[in-house]
Amino acid sequence: MIVAIKYQRLKTNPDLTPLIRVYLAFLNHMQKSDGGFHNYLSYERTYLDVEGSEDSMGRALWACGCTLNSSTPRDMQMVAKDLFDQGLPKVWNAIGIRFHAAVLLGLYEYYQAIPSEHIKDCAEKLGNILFERFQDQTREDWQWFEPCLTYDNARLPQALFAAYSLVGEKQFLKAAERTMDFLLKVQMVDGIFVPVGNDGWYKYRGNRPFYDQQPLEAAAMVDAAVDAYYITKDKHYLETAETVFEWFLGRNSRQVMVYNSKTGGCYDGIAQQYVNMNQGAESSISYLLARLKIEEVRQGFWHQEEI
C-alpha cells in the first residue's frame, strides 16, 4: 500500500486507486476490535494468529498514515484514519522500538493531511521513547538504541528525523544524526554498502557478521539517508542514498545483481557463497521503496522544508 501510494504521488498518469482499495480492505479485515491487527490469514479468510507481531502492526499504521496523506478518494482516506485512530493506543503498551518507529513515520504522514496538536504530542512522546532508549544504550564506541544491530535498523534514526521535523526537539535531531552516522560507519566498507548480516546479527563488542545481507536493510537505509538530507541539507547523506541503492544493482560485496529486471522482482538476499534466488514479496517491496525514494529526491518532489 505504501509503495502504491508513493508511486501515485510521483507519477501523474497511473491511477492505482483500485489497487490501494484492495490493500485498504485487507487492513480493514485484519484489524481486531481492540485496534490491533492480525498478521496471518488463510486462503479461506480465517485468521491464523491471535495477535499480530508488533512490526506488522506498526507497518499497518504507517500504511494508513500514507493513505490519509494521498490523492485517494475521501472515503478511503477516512477508512485509513479510522484504522489508524483505533490502532494508535496499542503503541503505548508496546516494547518494540521498530513498532514505535513505524508509527512515527505514520504520524508524520497523518500530520501532513490533518495537522493537530494531538498528533504532534503523540510524535513527541514516541520520539522521547526512542531518545531514552538511545541514552540508555549508547556508549562511546556504540552509538545505538540497542545492544545489537539486527534488521530494519535505519528506520530508527529515520523515525527520529521525522519526530524532529514535527516537534522541533533538538535532542531528537542530534540522536538521529549520531545513530545514522554510526550505522553508516558500520555498514559502509570501502565505499560499498555492506549491511549487517542476519547470521547472529552484530552484538556490542561481538563479531560483525557480513552475511546474509537482506534487501530490507538497504531499503531502510535509502529512505533514512534521503530524509536525513532533507532535514540537514548535508549532501553526504544524499550521496550515501545513491550508493546504498546501487547495492541492488550489483555494487555490493559480491558484485551480483539483486534486482531482477526481467521479472521486476528482487532476490531475497546475498549469502557468502550464493544469492538467494527466491523473489519474495518483502524483498521486491524493499526494492520498490528504495527505487521510489531515489526517484522522489531526483524529481525534487518534496519542498525543502518537508521531510
pLDDT digits (tens, 9 = 90+) for 134-175: 999 999 999 999 999 999 999 999 999 999 999 999 999 999
Q: Report yes or no on 5 lying in a domain.
A: yes
Domain check: are 169 and 256 in the same one?
Answer: yes
User: Which residues lie below 8 Å from residue 2, measured CB to CB, with a gap of 6+?
Assistant: 59, 62, 63, 66, 289
Residue 112 lies in a domain: no
Q: Are residues 137 and 84 in the same domain?
A: no
Based on the domain organization, do 197 and 284 belong to the same domain?
A: yes
Whether residue 155 is found in the same domain as residue 298:
yes
Instruction: Assess if residue 53 is contained within a domain.
Output: yes
pLDDT given at position 299: 84
End-to-end CA, the chain: 20
> Left if phi > 0, otherwise alpha if psi is -120 to 50, otherwise beta: which for 114?
beta
Residues 62 and 140 in one domain: no
Domain CATH code at residue 271? 1.50.10.20
What are the tens digits of pLDDT across the range 33-57?
999 999 999 999 999 999 999 999 9
Domain boundary among 69, 94, 119: 94
pLDDT band at 301 (very low <50, low <70, confident <90, very high): low
Omega prior to 152 cis, within 30 of 0: no
Task: Point out the least confidently predicted range of 4-18, 48-62, 66-80, 170-184.
Answer: 4-18
Give the residue among 116, 106, 215, 230 at the shortest CA–CA distance from 180.
230
Domain boundary among 94, 117, 142: 94
Dihedral angle over CA of 2, 3, 5, 9, nearest 10? 130
Boundary of a domain, candidates 47, 78, 94: 94
Residue whose entry in the numeric block shows the C-alpha cell 506488522:
56
306 and 217 inside one domain: yes
156 in the same domain as 82: no
- Percentage above 90 pLDDT, the chain: 94
Q: Is the pLDDT of residue 302 over 70?
A: no
Residues 30 and 171 in one domain: no
Which residues span the domain enclosing 9? 1-94
With respect to residue 117, please indicate whether it lies within any of the assigned structural domains.
Answer: no
Q: How many domains does the chain have?
A: 2
- Tell whether 212 and 298 lie within a shared domain: yes
Residues 292 and 185 both lie in one domain: yes
Which of 178, 218, 229 lies closest to 194 in space, CA to CA? 218
pLDDT digits (tens, 9 = 90+) for 231-267: 999 999 999 999 999 999 999 999 999 999 999 999 9
Asked if 30 and 37 touch (Cβ cutoff 8 Å), the reply is yes
CB 64 within 8 A of CB 106: yes
**Is residue 121 assigned to a domain?**
no
Domain shared by 137 and 276, yes or no: yes
Mean pLDDT along residues 273-301: 93
